[in-house]
A and B are shown apart, each in its own frame.
Chain A
Amino acid sequence: MNLAFRDIRHKLGRFVLTCLGLSLLLGVVVTMAGIYRGQTADALALVRSIGADIWVVQADSHGPFAESSRIPGDTREMIARIGGVLEAGSITLQTVQIGRDGRRLRLQVVGFEPGRPGGPVNMVEGRPITRSHYEMIADRQTGLSLGDKVDFGRRAYTVVGLTQGSVTLSGDSVVYMTLKDAQDLQFDLTPPETRREFARGSQRTNTDIVNAVVARISPNIPAEAIAADVRRWKHLSVLSAGQQEAILVTTVIERARRQLGLFMGVLTVVSAVIIALIVYTMTMEKLREIATLKLIGAPDRTIIGLIVQQALLMGVVGFITGSTLVALARDRFPRRVVMDPGDLVILFGVVVVVCLLASALGVRVAVRVDPARALVG
């Protein structure tokens, strides 16, 4: 005869409401863990989707994501000629904001050379860019569909392909266009600006600038050997793929990650306190029943079992319900929420430990209950 389940069944409505409240709280903890993971995943999504072995960037710079990097457009040819480099491609990166259907859309525009590294690899619909101009590939998160026309500056671009999961570390969607289009978008002056510049006698600005050159290298050649060759050009730096990821995770988003981690920790402590208070209140309401159980001869383990099982059940039901709610709602969050199975297992373990610790307070009260209390009328 399981007294914990019988007691829960007796006050089922109240237990369900308590679990629901707890599930929302634990759901927030799960969400924070998911956002924490999502931020890392977002930060690495673009870098990993490009799949480069080395990143050639401006000298003494940490690359196009952590800080500004501008290198001449012919750098790609120089890199491609180094022994061991299988293929190389130039890329540009810029953030733009456009109006679309009455809402603002923040986008990261990646300019790349079709057929070379730097383009989208996670296409889910449509086709690659085949024309030199005015075609683009957008991530699904933008809400754009195949065939949609999008205005950037003075020109309209047609969406010919869609990707899934291409976002920046700040959660903006990524769109891809040809390098030339991206350079024009970034550096071309409008006609009035051009006329003004011409009138003041300035020379035409060189727009053949890229932010980085990405390259894939032969598996037989150490990346460091190629990096040493590149560094002989004093205006260039080289980052390996691992270094690029480390920069993103440990510097660019580190503070945000720590903030999220701290918030998650605080929420876990708050959950523990709330669970402890619920268990304590539930125990205080059962003091007479506990005294009666002691009086009729129930051993301590029966009474402790009653409290601990209820606390555990409450935590487990709350955690499973909270996680399910987050899983159902995660696509509606503005930032990516990654529910890593490993994280969920760890959080589940934390919830179990928290419930056990929280029930200790109730157990302490229950063990001290005088059985004579049952005799008081």
Chain B
Amino acid sequence: MPDAVPTDALVSLRGVSKHFGEGEARVDALRDVTLEINAGEVVGLLGPSGSGKSTLLNAIGCIVEPNEGWIALDGEVVFDNRWQRNDLRRLRLEKIGFIFQSHNLLPFLNCVDNVALVLHLAGRPKGEAQHRAIELLDYLQVGHRRQAMPAQLSGGEAQRVAIARALANRPRIILADEPTAALDSERAGIVMDLLRKLAREQEAAIIAVTHDEKIIGRLDRICRLRDGRLVSTTENRAGPRSETTT
């Protein structure tokens, strides 16, 4: 594991392997994955079920510790001996935003509090957290639903609130697991365009696991995995399709 990270990439993986179980029950989820993702880039992880996409996303999100290789996020090598469980959570809080397939909003908080919670956990004053949350909800065009509870939102509204929560702390890395799976093609396009715009504006790296062929055209790079190996990385030379405004 290097003392200094020999790259300027925002997310860097070198020879990352991860297996679950031992002996005959051993499953190799990731095998020698090396990958670099720069600020402002929107990268898609594609592959069949069981190819290691979610494990790779979990490893970048500091949820799964690799058995071999190393991962560096924003210039810091994670999972070495210095990192405790709460340190990793702190890193996730400050540097990583998560967008889930099912929005995973906390059902007992209204929209604005779901977003403000992340800022609250980061120690921001209540007034500042509320102001930032409302600002983000307005930006994502769900400001008028700020007092609604998650159960009262449509799928598209809930996903936009979830995106607002992921962006609240201005993270440098956004991990999205099937962010458009629950949306129709029009809404899926809006969400992806929004993520692209945020990646540019906030100099963030966006890594999305997807099966959704509709959004592939909106990715900067496509990484295909099979049996835990990164089998191809394709630049989207045609560039993203014209953006749809929300």
Residues of A within 8 A of B (CB): 1, 3, 6-7, 9-11, 288-289, 292-300, 302, 370-372, 374-375, 377
Which of A7, A289, A296, A375 is B165 in contact with, Cβ under 8 Å?
A296
Whether the Cβ atoms of A302 and B121 lie closer than 8 Å is yes
User: Are A299 and B86 within 8 A (Cβ)?
Assistant: yes
Cβ–Cβ < 8 Å partners of B178 in chain A: 377
- Chain B 40-59 interface 0/1 with A at a Cβ cutoff of 8 Å (1 = within): 00000000000000100110
Contacts of B58 in A (CB 8 A): 372, 375
Interface pairs (6), CB distance under 8 Å? A1-B116, A289-B108, A299-B121, A302-B121, A371-B63, A377-B100
Segment touching A, from B89-97, B192-200, B229-237: B89-97
From the candidates A7, A296, A374, A377, name the one contacting B108 in the complex (CB within 8 A): A7
Do A377 and B116 touch (CB < 8 A)? no
Q: Report how far A291 CA is from B86 CA in the complex, Å.
A: 14
Do A289 and B107 touch (CB < 8 A)?
Answer: yes
Shortest distance from the beta carbon of B102 to any chain A beta carbon, whole Å: 6
- Shortest Cβ distance from residue B217 to the other chain A in the assembled complex, whole angstroms: 24
Could you tell me if A9 and B108 are in contact, using CB atoms closer than 8 angstroms?
yes
How far apart sit A295 and B91, CA to CA, in the bound complex (Å)? 10
- Expressed in whole angstroms, the minimum distance between the Cβ of A361 and any Cβ of chain B is 21
Whether A296 and B113, one on each chain, are in contact in the complex, defined by CB atoms closer than 8 angstroms, is no
Once the chains are docked, how many angstroms separate the CA of A137 from the CA of B82?
Answer: 83
Taken residue by residue from 80 to 114, chain B's Cβ proximity to chain A (1 for < 8 Å, 0 otherwise) reads as 00000110011111101010111010111100010
A370 and B89 form a contact (CB under 8 A): no
For B90, give the chain A residue with the smallest CB separation.
A297
In the bound complex, residues from chain B placing their C-beta under 8 Å from that of A11 are: 108
Q: Contact partner of B104 among A10, A292, A370, CB < 8 A?
A: A292
Given known pairs A1-B120, A296-B121, the reply for A372 and B104 (CB within 8 Å) is no
Known: A6-B109, A371-B63, A375-B54. A295 touches B98 (CB 8 A): yes
Further 20 A-B residue pairs, CB within 8 A, beyond A296-B118, A302-B121: A1-B109, A1-B113, A1-B126, A3-B108, A6-B108, A9-B108, A289-B106, A289-B108, A292-B104, A295-B63, A295-B92, A296-B92, A296-B93, A296-B117, A370-B63, A372-B63, A374-B100, A374-B104, A375-B63, A375-B100
Contacts of A374 in B (CB 8 A): 98, 100, 104
Give the residues in chain B near A295, CB-CB below 8 Å. 61, 63, 92, 98
Report the bound CA distance from A1 to B117 in whole Å.
7
Name the B residues within 8 Å of A297 (CB-CB).
89-94, 96, 118, 121-122
Bound together, the chains give a CA A7 to CA B109 distance in angstroms of 8
Bound Cα distance from A23 to B120, whole angstroms? 34
B181 contacts partner chain A, Cβ-Cβ < 8 Å: yes
How distant is A49 from chain B, measured CB to nearest CB, in Å? 57
B62 to chain A, nearest CB (A): 9
CB distance from B30 to the nearest CB of A (A): 14
* A28 CB, nearest partner CB in chain B, Å: 31
Contacts of B118 in A (CB 8 A): 296-297
Residues of B within 8 A of A (CB): 54, 57-58, 61, 63-64, 85-86, 89-94, 96, 98, 100-102, 104, 106-109, 113, 116-118, 120-122, 126, 149, 165, 177-178, 181
Query: CB-nearest residue of chain A relative to B110?
Result: A6
Give, as a whole number of angstroms, the nearest-CB distance from B111 to chain A: 13
Bound form: Cα–Cα A302–B93 in Å = 13
Specify which chain B residues have a CB less than 8 angstroms from the CB of A293 in the assembled complex.
106
In angstroms, Cα B120 to Cα A299, docked, is 12
Bound complex: CA of A287 vs CA of B118, how far in Å?
A: 18
A131 nearest CB across to chain B (Å): 74
* Interface contact A300-B86, CB-CB below 8 Å: yes
Give CA–CA (A233, B98) in the complex, Å.
95
CA–CA, A238 and B120, complex, Å: 75
Which of A9, A294, A297, A370 counts the most B-chain CB atoms under 10 A from its CB? A297
Contacts of A10 in B (CB 8 A): 107-108, 149
Bound Cα distance from A11 to B107, whole angstroms: 10
The smallest C-beta distance from B176 to any residue of chain A, in angstroms, reads 10
What residues on A are CB-neighbors of B108 within 8 Å? 3, 6-7, 9-11, 289
B106 close to A292 (CB less than 8 A): yes
CB of B110 to closest CB in A, whole Å: 9
Q: Which residue of B lies closest to A292 (CB)?
A: B104
Residue of B nearest to A7 (CB): B108
User: Is A6 touching B113 in the complex (CB atoms < 8 A)?
Assistant: yes
B89 touches A294 (CB 8 A): yes
7 closest A-B pairs by CB: A297-B93, A10-B108, A7-B108, A297-B92, A377-B101, A292-B104, A297-B89
Pick the contact of A377: B57, B63, B102 (CB < 8 A). B102
Nearest chain B CB to A295 CB, angstrom units: 6
B62: nearest chain-A partner, CB-CB? A371
Residues of A near B89 (CB, < 8 A) are 294, 297-299
**What residues on A are CB-neighbors of B181 within 8 Å?**
377
Q: How far is the CB of B97 from chain A (nearest CB, A)?
A: 8
User: What separation, in Å, do the CA atoms of A11 and B104 have in the docked complex?
Assistant: 18
* Nearest-neighbor residue (CB-CB) of B149 within chain A: A10
Q: Complex formed: what's the CA distance from A3 to B43 in Å? A: 35
Q: Determine whether the beta carbon of B121 is less than 8 Å from that of A298.
A: yes
Closest to A298 in B: B121
